[in-house]
Amino acid sequence: MGFCVALMLLKVCFLPGTLALGATNGLTKEEAMKNNILNFEDLENLKLAEDLAKTCVEMYSVTSTSLAPEIAYFHTEEFFEQGLDGGNTSSEYVNDIIIKPADCHNLL
């Protein structure tokens, strides 16, 4: 049985906008709902887009420079590393996101 690590690449932060635009055909969420053009799959894609965008914002917020790392790992029951946070101790998520030294070269 393999080992799975919860991680997210910075490039994933481009995906929420793509998902939202595809689901709403370029309209705002409110316009798409008003025009009744969203099906179940579209609504699922919008929820995924919102969740991914929130996680991207959290990746930025845990660092003291407000710049995101190339790769962020997430603390889980199976995977936890102490002392590898982004440095912003005022962030609500500082203990949830792990930033390894090799992945923080772009944080200044």
Contact 57, 44 (CB under 8 A): no
Answer yes or no: 31 catalytic.
no
Count CA atoms closer than 13 A to 78's CA, side-chain side.
6
Q: What is the total residue count of the chain?
A: 108
Interatomic CA distance for residues 82 and 54, integer angstroms: 23
Query: Looking at 30, 58, 70, 78, which residue is catalytic?
Result: 70
Can you tell me which residue has the tokens 């609500």?
92
Contact 8, 72 (CB under 8 A): yes
User: Which residues are tagged catalytic?
Assistant: 70
